[in-house]
Amino acid sequence: MAEFRMPSLGADMEAGTLVEWLKKPGEKVARGDVIAVVETQKGAIEVECFETGTLAEYLVEPGAKVPVGTPLARIETESERHEEPRPATPKPEAAEPAQAPKPAAPKPEPEPQVPPPSPTPERARRRVSPAARKIARERGIDLSGIEGSGPGGAVVSADLPEAAARPAASAPRGRLDLGEMRKAIAAAMARSKREIPHYYLAHDIDLTAAETWLARTNGARTPEDRLLMGVLLVKAVARALARFPEFNGTWEDAAFRPGEGIHVGVAIAIRGGGLIAPAIRDADGLSLDDLMAHLRDLVARVRSGALRSSELGGATATVSSLGDRGVGTLYGVIYPPQVALIGFGRPSPRPWAVGEALAVRTVLTATLAADHRASDGHRGALLLREIDTLLQDPEAL
Amino acid sequence: MSVTTYREAVRAAIREAMQKDERVFLMGEDVGHYGGCYAVSKGLLEEFGPERIRDTPLSESAFTGAGIAAAMAGMRPIVEVMTVNFSLLALDQIMNTAATIRHMSGGQFRCPVVIRMATGAGRQLAAQHSHSLEGWYAHIPGIRVLAPATLEDARGMLWTALDDPDPVLIFENALLYNMEGELADDAGAVDIDRAAIRREGHDITLLTYGGSLGKTLAAAEQLEGDGISAEVIDLRTLRPLDEGTILASVARTRRAIVVDEGWRTGSLAAEVSARIMEGAFWELDAPVGRVCSAEVPIPYAQHLEAAAIPQVPGIVAAARAAMGR
């Protein structure tokens, strides 16, 4: 009896989703036969088996996401006798051992090039209490420069900057210190460019449908109730992120951490300089009107410097839009530890092919700056296309 | 207000229960003519007679079983077991009968028995009279486990326990019987669902119950001198634990030390600590600490006995360690 397992289809793959079975229980299978389709971050991949025999039973149903190595099905092998001595773990990951023969290579080379086992084998893990970790994550505080006063020198909540450490107290109201903000932006953006391997994609979107719908909807409304194009864009992004969760979250401790909810940070320029990207929590679930109200409120409060601390952190992805006065295309810098920034340039009338003919349409260039550690260009392209698709049916937003 | 002792408060509670309800009776070893081995029931035999203050043979399993049966038959017995050490002879009755009967009878039987017993060390009575096993009982679903640490609770928990349709165990730390203090003349039934914050503070939460409450409050006093503001929570009910009060306090102070006279391994302190990890991990600024008894049979020699159980300096040291001092 052999087990057909979830294969490892790349060094970074931890789990895969079984999409469909191509063989039924009872069917004969031969080594090399494709018997299942597995969805990974790289797309749907056909998986062959390494045994010859009869597919005995499914152990996993289509739709299930399971870790690499999980048995997916049992195969009754024909050559049980010669397979017998092998334990029940003939993994299909024969590819892994292929890299393994290395151990033979390291013959005792008197190579002084590599210093002998360095006295600092590995940077000791920084001690940060769970409370301090949580608060720092919520408020976007960089822990690296903070001295710890807790047990064993651990950074505890009280060591964080005063305003941030008191969970109950609200953030100081009043004017923002633009000098401090410049420093914060400098630190965050330098870190971003230093640590995050960005890749960039751009995609032109025909906004005519959205524009028409917006004009019709706003026509019947008083000015204070009117919707802005920006709201449609944020909503489309939020919905698209729901379908492509690898862009919605953070990269921390060498791993992608999916966001709990879709909290879209909206970059808002501050008069006098500076930029802030407060989060709209659970943006994918808000109606366009609610989203509009949130945006209006945020913009007003950014101007008056009265943002809440909860809005300053916690975004799971950021939207940056230059609106009507900006340039055609915006290539953003990811706000760490997020993994994606969606940029929108200025919508403008452009010559555009509609079917066989040429027409003038309002077109907007959407860009994606994404963290290559968390995602790849193929999925990025699909994300941008999804935003496009959603904007073609504004009513459904 | 009048000055009274923990012992007198327990006696007042028993007397009041007997007066209030005809069905209440007390039974146990030496509770009648001798007046109880800790003199809790002194005088009650004269007042209520041998029908209601019943001396029993040295047979914990038999008289505890009889009490459980009486409760199932409609009485409101108070069973006194001299110390928790001897209650293990009645464990079969308590766990296999009292704790399970409601469930196993599909709700047809209830068992409103109250079992009181002394617990704890510190009286130089050697190992077989000195252990703190209430944590074991707190493991058992189907019973409620109480640990009165104050005069108010000693006076008030019994009536609330008798009102409970299910078995209730009350653990009285024997060192507390001589504790003296003021008690309101009209003191009566108390809530047995909630833990109590006995001292407010904002730097660390010290969680304890029963015989260790006084020591923990003394430790908090000492910590105050070091500039550490300790909150002291008296668990009061060891089963079911009032998780809400525990977690809310720890979320405020971000640090916790559990003080428990039971042995550390598999202790009630372990349970409280685990609940904090499950429910308040992200609020913590330090690992949860524990101050428990040394894992030895409690020694007879006075200095060794004192060294084996939680004391103020140990609690202070654990709190300081959690503060990083």
- Give the residue-averaged pLDDT of B304-309: 97
- Give the residue-averaged pLDDT of B28-53: 96
Q: Contact, A22 vs A34, CB < 8 A?
A: yes
Catalytic residue IDs of A: 372
pLDDT in tens, B225-248: 999 999 999 999 999 999 999 999
Q: CA B292 to CA B308: how far, in whole Å? A: 9
pLDDT in tens, A345-354: 999 899 999 8
pLDDT at A99: 43
Q: Cα distance from B311 to chain A (closest Cα, Å)?
A: 22
Closest C-alpha to A352, from A166, A171, A205? A205
Q: What is the DSSP letter of B236?
A: -
Residues 280-299 of chain B with CB under 8 A from chain A are 281-287
Cβ-based interface (< 8 Å): residues of A facing B: 129-134, 148-154, 156-158
Map tokens 């002291």 to a residue.
Answer: B232
Residues 249-268 of chain B with CB under 8 A from chain A are 254
**How far apart are the two ends of chain B, measured CA to CA in Å?**
42
Q: Do B323 and A151 count as a contact with CB atoms less than 8 A apart? A: yes
Using CA atoms of B177, B179, B185, B191 in order, give the dihedral in degrees to the nearest 10: -70
Least confident segment among B65-69, B135-139, B188-192: B188-192
Closest C-alpha to B261, from B144, B165, B143, B120? B120
Q: Do A151 and B282 count as a contact with CB atoms less than 8 A apart? A: no
pLDDT at A1: 77
pLDDT in tens, B279-306: 999 999 999 999 999 999 999 999 999 9
Spell out the alpha helix ranges (H) of chain A: 80-83, 95-99, 130-139, 162-165, 178-195, 208-219, 229-243, 288-304, 309-312, 377-391
Residues 64-123 of chain B with CB under 8 A from chain A are none
Q: Cα distance from A8 to chain B (closest Cα, Å)?
A: 33
pLDDT at B47: 97
CB-CB neighbors (< 8 A) of A149 in chain B: 324
Q: Contact, A344 vs A364, CB < 8 A?
A: yes
pLDDT at A93: 44
- Nearest by CB: A131 against B283, B287, B322: B283
Handedness of CA A391, A392, A395, A397 (dihedral sign): negative
Q: What is the CA radius of gyration of chain A?
A: 26
Q: Please name the amino acid found at residue B144.
A: R
Least confident segment among A315-319, B92-96, B150-154, B271-275: A315-319
Tell me what ipTM this predicted complex has: 0.78
pLDDT in tens, A371-394: 999 999 999 999 999 999 999 999
Which 3 state secondary structure label does DSSP give B233? strand
Long-range contacts of B55-63 (CB under 8 A, 24+ apart): B55/B27, B55/B28, B55/B29, B55/B30, B55/B31, B56/B27, B56/B28, B56/B29, B56/B31, B57/B29, B58/B29, B59/B89, B60/B86, B60/B87, B60/B89, B60/B90, B61/B89, B61/B90, B61/B92, B61/B93, B63/B27, B63/B28, B63/B29, B63/B90
Positions of chain A with pLDDT lower than 70, given as ranges: 9-13, 40-44, 78-124, 162-177, 304-313, 324
- Give the residue-averaged pLDDT of B179-204: 94
CB-CB neighbors (< 8 A) of A146 in chain B: none
pLDDT at B321: 95
pLDDT at A166: 44
pLDDT of B277 above 50: yes
- Nearest by CB: B254 against A131, A149, A153: A131
- Closest residue on chain A to B325 (Cα): A151
Q: Which residue has the higher pLDDT, A120 or B253?
A: B253
pLDDT in tens, A98-153: 444 444 444 444 444 444 444 444 456 788 999 998 888 888 888 888 888 888 88
3-state helix, strand, coil in chain B (%, to 5): 40, 20, 35
Catalytic residue IDs of B: 60, 129
Question: In whole angstroms, how far apart are CA A207 and each of A159, A165, A367?
Answer: 49, 45, 15
Q: CA B321 to CA B219: how far, in whole Å? A: 14
pLDDT at A83: 45
In terms of DSSP bridges, do strands A53-58 and A28-29 run parallel, antiparallel, or are they unpaired?
antiparallel
pLDDT at A16: 83
pLDDT in tens, B116-167: 999 999 999 999 999 999 999 999 999 999 999 999 999 999 999 999 999 9
What does the mean pLDDT of chain A come to?
80
Q: Contact, B237 vs B156, CB < 8 A?
A: no
- Closest residue on chain A to B281 (Cα): A130
CB-CB neighbors (< 8 A) of A148 in chain B: 324
**Does residue B224 belong to the interface with chain A, where contact is any CB pair within 8 Å?**
no
**How far apart are the two ends of chain A, measured CA to CA in Å?**
52
- Nearest by CB: B282 against A130, A153, A158: A130
Q: Contact, B154 vs B4, CB < 8 A?
A: no
Q: Cα distance from A166 to chain B (closest Cα, Å)?
A: 10
Q: CA B288 to CA A12: how far, in whole Å? A: 35
- Give the residue-averaged pLDDT of B266-286: 96
- Nearest by CB: A149 against B282, B283, B324: B324
Q: Please name the amino acid found at residue A31.
A: R
Q: Please name the amino acid found at residue B184.
A: A
- Give the residue-averaged pLDDT of B52-70: 97
Q: Which residue has the higher pLDDT, B47 or A336?
A: B47
Substitution target in A127, A128, A129 with the highest count of B β-carbons within 10 Å is A129
Q: What is the pTM of this model?
A: 0.55
Q: Contact, A373 vs A250, CB < 8 A?
A: no
pLDDT at A371: 95
Q: CA A257 to CA A125: how far, in whole Å? A: 19
CB-CB neighbors (< 8 A) of A130 in chain B: 281-285
Q: What is the CA radius of gyration of chain B?
A: 19
CB-CB neighbors (< 8 A) of B281 in chain A: 130
What does the mean pLDDT of chain B come to?
96
Q: Cα distance from B284 to chain A (closest Cα, Å)?
A: 5
Substitution target in A156, A157, A166 with the highest count of B β-carbons within 10 Å is A156
What residues have CB less than 8 Å from A318, skipping those under 6 apart?
Answer: A264, A265, A266, A267, A277, A332, A334, A335, A338, A340, A341, A342
Q: Cα distance from B281 to chain A (closest Cα, Å)?
A: 6
* Cβ neighbours of A79 (radius 10 Å): 10
Q: Do B323 and A133 count as a contact with CB atoms less than 8 A apart? A: no
Q: Do A156 and B324 count as a contact with CB atoms less than 8 A apart? A: yes
